[in-house]
């Protein structure tokens, strides 16, 4: 299973460095997990790109429709007390931002509950270092 934080998931929809790698995973039909917070983060990124002129209104509408279509296929990790407590503990151990800690806590929760190997994908170096210290296989994008 592959866990993608928002910085990695966005590359599925908007072409940027690392997009080919992410899109290849989708062509291979890899099972993708992410946190529920990614929903709002992805829309914030799409809308910012539209406001800044990087996306036309037509492109924006198209990627929003694709994202909405694909969202139900992801394994979505709910943000509940266990995730909040895990994220708190991760913040105490590593120099993480709040949502980054929630993503890493979500991946840890999946691994603990399903007892399966998780590859953690993101584009943030600090988050990758924390994921490595937590013994995840890394997908650096």
Domains of the chain: 2-37+74-140 (3.40.50)
Compute the average pLDDT of residues 59-74: 97
How many CB atoms within 10 Å of residue 123? Answer: 20
Query: How does the average pLDDT of the chain come out, rounded?
Result: 95
Compute the average pLDDT of residues 93-111: 98
The model's pTM: 0.93
Q: Is the pLDDT of residue 29 over 90?
A: no
Which two tokens mark 139? 């997908």
Which two tokens mark 17? 């460095």
Q: Is the pLDDT of residue 100 over 70?
A: yes
Phi, psi (deg, nearest 5) at residue 27: -65, -30
Q: Is the pLDDT of residue 128 over 70?
A: yes
Which two tokens mark 19? 């997009």
Q: Is the pLDDT of residue 28 over 90?
A: no
Compute the average pLDDT of residues 61-89: 98
């Amino acid at each position: 299973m592959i866990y993608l934080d928002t910085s990695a998931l966005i590359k599925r929809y908007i072409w940027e460095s690392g997009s080919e790698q992410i899109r290849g995973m989708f062509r291979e039909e890899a099972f993708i997990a992410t946190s529920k917070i990614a929903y709002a983060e992805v829309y914030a990124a799409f809308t910012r790109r539209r406001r800044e002129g990087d996306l036309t209104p037509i492109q924006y509408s198209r990627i929003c429709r694709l994202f909405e279509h694909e969202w139900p296929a992801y394994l979505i990790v709910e943000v509940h007390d266990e995730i909040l407590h895990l994220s708190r503990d991760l913040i105490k151990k590593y120099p993480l931002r709040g949502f980054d800690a929630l993503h890493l806590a979500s991946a840890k929760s999946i691994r603990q509950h399903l007892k399966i190997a998780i590859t953690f994908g993101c584009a943030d170096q600090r988050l990758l270092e924390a994921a490595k210290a937590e013994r995840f296989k890394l997908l650096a994008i």
